[in-house]
A and B are shown apart, each in its own frame.
Chain A
Amino acid sequence: MSTPVPSSIEKPRYVAPPPLVYIEPSGKSNRDLPAQIDFDWLRQAYQHMSLIRALDKKAVALQRTGQMRTYPSCLGQEAVGIGTGMAMMDADVYVPYYRDQATLYLRGVQLKQILQLWGGDERGHLFDGAAKKDLPICVPIATQLTQAAGAAVALKSKGVKGAVVTSCGDGATSRGDFYEALNVAGLWQLPLVTVINNNQWAISVPRQMQSGTPTLAQKAVAAGIEGIQVDGNDVVAVFDAVNHALQKARSGKGPTLIEAITYRLGDHTTADDATRYRSASEVSDAWQREPIKRLQTWLHDHDAWDATREQSLHGEIKQQIERAVADYLAIEPAPVDDILRYQYADMTPALEQQRTWLLQRHGG
């Protein structure tokens, strides 16, 4: 479908290195894992990814039964979110896009709150713990990226020892905000890590119809910053790249752009039907590269996982999800006048008057 490049135009000279990968789709590794990765770390990553996949499945099911509003599945992208989250520290600030359930979970956002958000309740954004100063989910594409740069300016100028991590999809890299954020981050050497979830699809528009660039990572070159391409379905590769970028950022050595190559196995959201624009064979091919199975294979091959552990993990996850859903469904409705209370620090006279009208119509 992509427009052919006329032969008279010289090919760009930049040649991207092959993406970083430790654990291949087959579950084999062709290189030593980073030193800080041990069996416990890998088992933890596996457990986190399995939990997020279960949460995601449940959220879609809740939507199909009318108990959840429009929901963006993160099926297939678990390694990007978990690898990123496991590299972050509390002092860092996270600036998410809307498909970031996995990282938010690791930042300490409760599963119940993630459901609450997509269940249509702003109170899901009452993040606590490490996420206390993290930005809320950002729906307009790429607008979070310049905000993340601003947060990085704040950390830098306040002398905070953390860095800012932000994420976006491949579609976001077509927007001006993406370039504007990279440009200023490179210019001011901001402590900023930008992770592109290249899941191959901007709703119905495939990656090759979005940009003529061979890799999204090389968009960093124009901003004078480092761009790294990683296998986004390898949680170790994602962790290693983000960890490297964070250490660099925290020590004042500037920003990094990471393109994590993954695949959106689900629809764009529950309001979408991906069968309209992509083939079943493409999706089944992508399932061969998904992140959880390959790590399971690796762990099995290294005698670090077995059927008993798998069974007990699934029991725990089932309980955790059931509790989160029960807690979510038990959330009391917000006070009626919450829709007015947070517009300004204080209620204005006009809002006070409108509150009386609202309460007359909808009870106190």
Chain B
Amino acid sequence: MGKDNNSNTHEVTLVEAVNLALRRALSDDPDVVLLGEDIGTNGGVFRATEGLKQDFGYKRVIDTPLAESMIAGLSVGMATQGMKPVAEIQFMGFIFAAFEQIVCHAARMRNRTRGRLHCPLVIRAPFGGGIQAPEHHSESTEALFAHIPGLRVVIPSSPTRAYGLLLSAIQCPDPVLFLEPKRIYRMVRQRLVDSGKGLPLDTCFTLRQGKDVTLVSWGAAMHETLQAAERLARDGIECEVIDVATISPLDFNTIKRSVQHTGRCIIVQEAPRNGGVASEISARLAETCLMHLRAPVQRVTGYDATMPYPRQEHLYMPATDDIIAAARTTLEGL
């Protein structure tokens, strides 16, 4: 992690930004506790928690036994008693043992007790494909959680947004699933001021303005989406690019306003096509923007198939060319 002398500014990757945000939260709030497998001495398998146990001690950066359901259950119990647990599930493919605690308890505690208790926990999990990992290490199952009332599902796509969104997630009184796109953990560096300032969890981020077509995505696929916008711009096609960031509850208004302006929309998701967040966005565009649409909404997605093992992984992932092709289809006749 590069650091300017005598300043609070860092040149960081996404995973380093996560580390900075965790460090900041641990410093600012004595109730914040990190827990998970291999997060202490080892600093996490992706090094997201590197150095934190050394600096904050084993009581605040807790290496747990290997049991995801227990990690989530502990977090629920801690959160109801005034702590702010930030749990790591090592890979999202292993979150299903914790699914019951997240869905049946964390998401419901406030409603079940009519506001007497709440569950301000964060569960961080690296997700998505593209790192040539074994089975169960590459899936994108964010829609399963986006479907659950009471949960917030947040996905950063850059170092600065990872830092700001994670700080807000930790401060948020609701349970937050914070999904980290591990393919871009170390893809780019960004200049980041460690200001302790969060970014809002209730808005999409418009990364590029344009009048011809709206490109909507989140997580690692933002990278290909921005590349597509760049290449289309060379041909004079101006894309508006939206990073959804918080996929649930969804800030639909930002998307709607953009599509009302451009009349065209491509939604890019790495997850399978059926029943995904892209489906929800398309449905809502159909409900509210039909008269503004100049072409059918297009989805660029993974397949309705199990995530392949590494040798065929590239066949599954949405590519920049796929996004460009979809954009050109909607622009036919322009």
Residues of A in contact with B (beta carbons under 8 Å apart):
93, 95, 122-123, 125-127, 132-133, 135-136, 138, 140, 143, 145-155, 157-158, 164, 176-177, 180-181, 183-184, 187, 338, 341-345, 348-351
CB distance from A75 to the nearest CB of B (A): 26
Interface residues of A: mostly helix, strand, loop or mixed? helix
A127 near B116 (CB under 8 angstroms)?
A: yes
Among the stretches B2-10, B64-72, B223-231, the one at the interface with A is B64-72
Cβ proximity bits B101-123 to A, threshold 8 Å, 1 near / 0 not: 10011000111111111100000
List of B residues within 8 angstroms of A152 by Cβ? 77
Q: Which residues of A contact B76 (CB under 8 A)?
A: 146-147, 150
A93 touches B74 (CB 8 A): no
5 further A-B pairs in the complex, CB-CB below 8 A; given A133-B81, A147-B105, A345-B172: A95-B77, A136-B113, A153-B83, A341-B115, A350-B252
Q: Indicate whether B173 reaches chain A with its CB closer than 8 angstroms.
A: yes
Q: In the complex the two chains form, is B249's CB within 8 Å of A345's CB?
A: no
Q: Are A147 and B80 in contact (CB under 8 A)?
A: yes
Residue B82 lies at the interface, judged by CB distance under 8 Å to chain A = yes
Complex interface residues of chain B between 149 and 169 (CB less than 8 A to chain A): 149-150, 152
Structural contact, A151 and B80, CB atoms closer than 8 A: yes
Across-interface contacts of A143 in B (CB, < 8 A): 73, 100-101, 104-105
Cβ-neighbour of B78 out of A150, A184, A351 (below 8 A): A150
**Contact in complex: A343, B111 (CB < 8 Å):** yes
Q: How far is the CA of A212 from the CA of B152 in the complex (A)?
A: 42
Cross-chain contact A181 with B70 (CB below 8 angstroms):
yes
Chain A residues contacting B252 (CB-CB under 8 Å) are 349-350
B312 interface contact, C-beta 8 A = no
Would you call B83 and A154 a contact (CB within 8 A)? yes
Known: A183-B67, A348-B202. A149 touches B77 (CB 8 A): yes
Complex interface residues of chain B between 40 and 89 (CB less than 8 A to chain A) = 59, 64-65, 67, 69-70, 72-83, 85
B92 within 8 Å of A (CB atoms): no
- Distance, CA A95 to CA B109, complexed state (A): 13
Q: Are B113 and A122 in contact, CB atoms less than 8 angstroms apart?
A: yes
A153 and B202 alpha carbons, distance in the complex (Å): 32
Report how far A154 CA is from B72 CA in the complex, Å.
14
Interchain CA distance A183-B33 in the complex, whole Å: 20
CA distance A133 to B83 in the complex (A): 13
Contact A349 B80 (CB under 8 A): no
Name the B residues within 8 Å of A146 (CB-CB). 69-70, 72-74, 76-77, 101
Q: Are A125 and B114 in contact (CB under 8 A)?
A: yes
**Chain B residue contacts of A187, Cβ below 8 A:** 65
* B250: interface (CB < 8 Å): yes
Count how many pairs of residues, one from A and one from B, have CB atoms less than 8 Å apart in the complex. 140
List of B residues within 8 angstroms of A342 by Cβ:
110-111, 114-115
A245 to chain B, nearest CB (A): 18
**Smallest CB separation, A113 vs chain B (Å):** 11
Q: Please, how many angstroms separate the alpha-carbon atoms of A349 and B83 in the complex? A: 28
Decide if B74 touches A150 in the complex (CB within 8 Å): yes
B-side contacts of A93, CB under 8 Å: 81
Considering the complex, give the chain A residue whose CB is closest to the CB of B68: A180
Q: Which chain B residues in 237-272 approach chain A with CB under 8 Å?
A: 249-253
Known contacts A123-B114, A126-B113; decide if A177 and B81 are in contact (CB<8 Å).
no
User: What's the Cα separation between A349 and B203 when bound, in Å?
Assistant: 11
A133 touches B114 (CB 8 A): no
Asked if B67 and A180 make an inter-chain contact with CB atoms under 8 angstroms apart, the answer reads yes
Give every chain B residue within 8 A of A176 (Cβ-Cβ): 67, 69
The answer to whether B117 touches A135 (Cβ under 8 A) is yes
Q: Does B174 interact with chain A (Cβ within 8 Å)?
A: yes
Q: Is the CB of B81 within 8 A of A151?
A: yes
- Separation of A122 and B116 alpha carbons in the complex (Å): 11
In the complex, the answer to whether B82 meets A154 with C-beta atoms within 8 Å is: yes
Q: Are B65 and A122 in contact (CB under 8 A)?
A: no
- What is the chain A residue whose CB lies nearest that of B106? A147
A95 neighbours in B (Cβ, 8 Å): 77
B250 touching A350, Cβ below 8 Å: yes
Q: Which 5 residue pairs across A and B have the least CB separation, nearest first?
A: A150-B77, A146-B73, A154-B81, A150-B74, A147-B77
Q: Are B81 and A126 within 8 A (Cβ)?
A: no
Q: Give the chain A neighbours of B70 by CB distance below 8 A.
A: 146, 149, 177, 180-181, 183-184
Least CB distance from B244 to A in Å reads 14
Q: Is the CB of A184 within 8 A of B74?
A: yes
Report A-chain residues with C-beta under 8 Å of the C-beta of B75: 150
Q: Give A176 to B72 CA distance when docked, in angstroms.
A: 13
Q: How far is the CB of B248 from chain A (nearest CB, A)?
A: 9
Report how far A344 CA is from B110 CA in the complex, Å: 7
A177 touches B69 (CB 8 A): yes
Residue of B nearest to A342 (CB): B111
Partner of A338, one of B73, B81, B112, B114: B114
Contacting residue for B117 out of A136, A177, A350, CB 8 A:
A136
Determine the distance from Cα of A146 to Cα of B116 in the docked complex, in whole angstroms.
20
Minimum CB–CB distance for A131 against chain B, Å: 10
Partner of A155, one of B67, B81, B152, B172: B81
Partner of B253, one of A148, A180, A349: A349
Q: Give every chain A residue within 8 A of B83 (Cβ-Cβ).
A: 153-154, 157-158
Q: List 7 A-B contacts (CB under 8 A).
A: A135-B117, A147-B101, A150-B85, A180-B73, A184-B64, A341-B115, A345-B173
- Most chain-A Cβ atoms within 10 A of its Cβ — which of B114, B118, B172? B114
